Structure 1
Amino acid sequence: MEKYRQIDAKALEDRGRPDGAAARRIFQAEYTGFSKKIIVLDDDPTGTQTVHDVSVYTDWSYESILEGFCEDRNMFFLLTNSRSFSEEKTKQVHREIGERIVRASRETKKDFLVISRGDSTLRGHYPLEMEVLGEALKEYDGRMPDGEILCPFFKEGGRYTIDSVHYVQEKGKLIPAAQTEFAGDATFGYSHSELGEYVEEKSRGRKKSQDCIRITLDMLRGPDLEVPSEKLLEAGGFSTVLVDAVCYEDVEIFCAALLKALKAGKRFLIRSAAAVPKVLGNIADKPLLGREELIKPGSVTAGGTITDAASVPGGIVLAGSHVKKTTVQLERLREADCPLSFLEFNVNTCFQEEGLSAEADRITDRASEEMKKGNTAVVYTSRELFAPAGYSKEELLKASVRISDAVTSVIQKLTVRPRFIIAKGGITSSDVAVKALAIKKAVVMGQIQPGIPVWMTGSESKFPGMPYVIFPGNVGGEDTLKKVVETLSRDSEEQQ
């Protein structure tokens, strides 16, 4: 058992925070003249939870990558959804992406910086994705990056790193990440909260904790701001750099040091949660999105008819995430001050011939009926899967994939255009975006609640111009889902 203990969240206040205006000045001074194209590889759609007015491409074709390079914006996202991939597919995809990025860079004559946006609770294909990207860049660009940077800080979700120990905030406590339910993930579990020990564990000893370069809060807030950049200049041979942060000012000061190191010729890959893309993209804060920006009169129905706001049907919520937080949020949603209809998708129909298809049809019909009445349909999967005796882990995994596809097909089969769509959970939201809505490119509008992004679907999608809310399974308080649904369900006059 690791030695780290839960601590009171007051420790964040005790640490204080750097002067915000000074941190911003330091960052902006280094940002001047920075012209690299920032490419964010998102291992599920929730990584856009801190940005706005940026493009998201749902494939990694050369055409999409080249289009991203040609945009005026300095940043674009590629949705890989690799957290749902096997290790072999992850290797293949990241090798392809590395080669295509280098090719697009040469064609456009623009240099680049790659961020692998991963989970703020440390799940995902680490270090595999970073190693494959590094090797691909070495093969196609002729140079291995000097190092990889790990910065899982994500304030909006209550994820903080102090003295290289990563914490998850829950009810007034900072819990070492390895002691949370996320560390028990069947595919991506881990047992160390100290990032150096985590790196050693996940690399199976290929990388040693003592060899990691640590950039601590004391360095970021010390009198000599050259120290963080000097630490980065020490990197070589694909070193691992671990970064503390408990507020955005820490990230700004670190990113200033990073920009200085890049100007000095260093090259890095970044593995981070959603905070670093926002800062490096120089993306300003934006108020939370309100109903008026998302649900407007003149909506287009599935049949192409213009309707007024009053005739727009209800919305739909699709909940596939099974983490405890989602279950609690669904229970609190029942208390919402708006018309709802809860529809349980029976996952155990997967053990019947054509059972899932019939269940998807049943749920789709019910959801359509409820939306036509102006109600929001809340589709959620039953919480337990009762497998027949003798089912192997591989068979259960295949069953899970079939269930996910069937649940996603509910959106795909809709003939009623919803007022809005909310997908709960990373894999669910990716499958809805790519398979059900057929989104090729979307624009991130902003966030409806902290850490909860909204995409505006493109003209090619099943429902063009639709606000699509991507709600991570592990983000928000108990009543956050309730707040989001109430915001989107009410007409403007009801909110006054």
Structure 2
Amino acid sequence: MSSKPKIIVLDDDPTGSQTVHSCLLLMQWDVATLRLGLSDEAPIFFVLTNTRALTPEKAAAVTQEVCRNLKQAIAAEAVQDFLVVSRSDSTLRGHYPIETDVIAAELGPFDAHFLTPAFFEGGRTTRNSVHYLKVNGVDTPVHETEFARDSVFAYQHSYLPDYVAEKTDGQIPAATVDRFLLQDIRAGVLERLLHLHNNQCCVVDAETQADLNHFAADVLKAASQGKRFLFRSAASLLTALADLPPQPIAPEAMAEYVRGSKPGAIIVGSHVKKTTEQLEQLLQQPGISGIEVQVARLLEQSNEPRAALLAETVQKVSQVHAAGQTPVVYTSRQELSFDDVQTRLDFGEAVSALLMDVIRHLPSEIGFLISKGGITSNDTLSTGLNLRTAKLLGQVLAGVSMVRTPSHHPQFPDLPVVLFPGNVGDATALATVYRRLSQRSD
């Protein structure tokens, strides 16, 4: 057996790699592409399934397809030892337990599955099995935040055993959930891990990266002794499991990757409150020109408004770029209401498809691209740029990743692309990333 298991991450939006670097992101999951991930020298790789944007049925089908292909790829590469992580949102939104159930059915049996939602770069911690989000400096139970009222993934509990019971419709009662508390993790939990069996559901506290480092060390020891574990996790656990050295180029110096020191382009799809605040600050920066896309026009029945909207946006982008500025293409900020969840998801897909057409029409000599929003970023890589794989360079800001397109990309070779989650960073974060890449003094 190899000393370290390969860490295989099924990421439900493309921002789960926001704490690691120097590894592959896979936008496709055919057996040949998965073998690229398994054979890569990095200890970890990501399969970007984008299931958070899908219906429960589609999410289950995609996860099943990935797992079945993974089984073949693992056999072909003769990988003996691996850990599977279902990476999801640190504010508890996503298809749980659908994805972990499918993974367990296809790649199991597992001795346990762990919920580890702590994400320190985003101010998310777990204490006494209650998951908190720092809001204006105050630890707030996540069920009291806007994320718990998400129109697709709403929930009522921050106490993780109750969250599990809620999401599994009582199939896993709260009282049966195994709780790993801070004092347990800090004292060492190897013996407990070795006694888990039958896919026991466990929830894990963590206040600092050191807590997850302790936990991960015990997990890896237990795995080396034959225990098989599955994780439903945010990004910080991945840092601990992968145990990478510092990234090659510091976040402040990542303008080195910008092509020819040229202006870039910024696409903003997310419209959570935090993104809107960040956008307001960005639009005040020198060298920036905002282009608002009135997405409500997509609700009109014919295709004509879409074609006109695309043509207008592309023309404005071209004018801004020709003037030596960085265009910021952003969706109109008003929240539209829909009759049902499916209609909302369909509209989200239509908006994203329009933004991807804008990306395809960007001037080919842009220096960099920033994509704001998880689903927007996933679509940017897989659809807008039509990538099979991308190399993760590291973070340009805590929780904000930069990847680079391959040098043989037909339209944008070696283009640095920033994947900026909707709910990460303070109000100035988007402006800070722009300044770093355009080498404007902070």
TM-score normalised according to structure 1 size:
0.84
Shift of 1:351: 2.9
Q: Give 1:407 deviation, angstroms.
A: 2.0
Counterparts of 1:257 and 1:488, CA distance in 2: 39
In structure 2, C-alpha distance between the alignment counterparts of 1:291 and 1:386, rounded to whole Å:
37
- Distance across 2 between alignment mates of 1:99 and 1:274: 24
Q: Residue 384 of structure 1 aligns to which amino acid in structure 2?
A: Q
Give the distance between the partners of 2:35 and 2:344, measured in 1 at CA: 39
Query: Paired residue for 1:91?
Result: 60
Query: For the structure 1 residues 208 and 393, does the alpha-carbon distance in structure 2 shift closer, same or farther, using more than 3 Å as the test?
Result: closer
- Distance change in 2, residues 1:68/1:400 (3 Å): closer
Aligned residue number for residue 359 of structure 2: 411
- Provide Cα deviations, 1:47-74, integer angstroms capped at 9, x if missing partner: 1111110011101111111121122222
Question: Which residue in 2 is equivalent to 1:124?
Answer: 94
Specify the alignment match of 1:356 in structure 2: 306
How large is the RMSD of aligned CA atoms in angstroms?
A: 1.9
Confirm or deny: 8 A CA contact 1:345 1:407 kept in the other structure.
no
Q: 1:479 pairs with 407, 411, 428, which one?
A: 428
Corresponding residue to 2:34 among 46, 55, 65: 65
Alignment partner of 2:16: what SS? Answer: helix
Distance change in 2, residues 1:346/1:289 (3 Å): same
Cα shift at 1:233: 2.3
Task: Give the equivalent residue in structure 1 for 2:327.
Answer: 377
Quote how far apart the aligned CAs of 1:121 are: 0.6
Shift of 1:416: 4.0
Residue 454 of structure 1 corresponds to 402
Name 1:321's counterpart in structure 2. Answer: 270
Shift of 1:284: 2.1
In structure 2, the residue matched to 1:401 is 349
Q: Aligned with 1:290: secondary structure?
A: helix
- Counterpart CA distance in 2 for 1:147 and 1:214 is 12
Distance between the aligned counterparts of 2:91 and 2:228, measured in 1? 26
Judged with a 3 Å threshold, the aligned counterparts in structure 2 of structure 1 residues 373 and 291 are, in CA distance, closer, same or farther, namely farther
Change beyond 3 A, Cα 1:372–1:317:
same
Separation in 2, partners of 1:99, 1:128:
16
Is the CA contact (8 Å cut-off) linking 1:178 and 1:193 kept in structure 2? yes
Q: Which has the larger radius of gyration?
A: 1
SS at match of 1:419: coil
Moved segments of 4+, more than 6 Å: none
Identity of aligned residues (%): 37
- Output the CA distance in 1 between the equivalents of 2:10 and 2:72: 17
How far 1:78 sits from its partner (Å)? Answer: 0.8
Aligned to 2:253: 290
**Does residue 200 of structure 2 align to residue 275 of structure 1?**
no
Q: Tell me by how many angstroms 1:178 deviates.
A: 0.7
Q: Which amino acid aligns with 1:153?
A: A
Structure 1 residues 126 and 386: alpha-carbon distance in aligned structure 2, compared to 1, 3 A threshold = closer
Residue-by-residue CA offset, 1:291-335 (whole Å, 9 max, x unaligned) = 4422253xxxxxxxxxxx4xx3x2111111110000111111133
In structure 1, C-alpha distance between the alignment counterparts of 2:70 and 2:252, rounded to whole Å: 33
SS at match of 1:335: coil
Out of 120, 136, 141, the residue aligned to residue 171 of structure 1 is 136
**325, 334, 339: which is aligned to 2:283?**
334
Structure 1 residues 479 and 40: alpha-carbon distance in aligned structure 2, compared to 1, 3 A threshold: same
- Structure 1 distance, partners of 2:410, 2:383, is 10
- Report what 1:109 is aligned to: 78
Distance 1:188 1:396 in 2: 13
Output the CA distance in 2 between the equivalents of 1:233 and 1:416. Answer: 54
Native 8 Å contact 1:456 1:465 kept in 2: yes
Which residue of structure 1 aligns with residue 218 of structure 2? 257
1:231 lines up with 2:192 in the alignment: yes
- Cα distance in structure 1, aligned partners of 2:153 and 2:239: 26
Which of residues 147, 155, 163 in structure 1 aligns to 2:112? Answer: 147
Deviation at 1:184, TM superposition (A): 0.7
Maintained 8 Å contact 1:215/1:231:
no
**1:404 deviation in Å?**
1.9
Aligned counterpart, 2:156: 191
1:98 and 1:392 map into 2 onto residues whose CA distance is 31
- Cα deviation code 1:348-370 (max 9, x no counterpart): 11133221221112111101110
Asked if 1:467 corresponds to 2:432, the answer is no
1:178-232 deviation line (CA, Å, top 9, x unaligned): 111111111111110011111110111100111111111111223xx3xx12222
Residues 232 and 241 of structure 1 are in contact (CA less than 8 Å); yes or no, is this contact kept in structure 2? no
Could you tell me which runs of 5 or more consecutive residues in structure 1 were left unpaired when the two chains were aligned.
1-31, 139-143, 298-308
Report the CA distance shift for 1:376/1:241 in structure 2 as closer, same or farther (over 3 A): same
Cα separation, partners in 2 of 1:79 and 1:461, compared to 1, 3 Å: farther
Residues 461 and 157 (structure 1), Cα distance of their counterparts in 2 relative to 1, 3 Å cut? farther
Deviation at 1:391, TM superposition (A): 6.0
| Partner Cα distance (1:373, 1:189) in 2 | 44
* CA distance 1:252–1:351, shift in 2 (3 Å): closer
Equivalents in 2 of 1:95, 1:327: separation in Å? 36
> Structure 2 vs 1, CA of residues 386 and 182 (structure 1 numbering), >3 Å: closer, same or farther?
closer
User: Contact 1:356/1:403 (CA < 8 Å) preserved in 2?
Assistant: no
1:253 and 1:378 map into 2 onto residues whose CA distance is: 42
Deviation at 1:170, TM superposition (A): 1.5
- In the other structure, the counterpart of 1:82 is 51
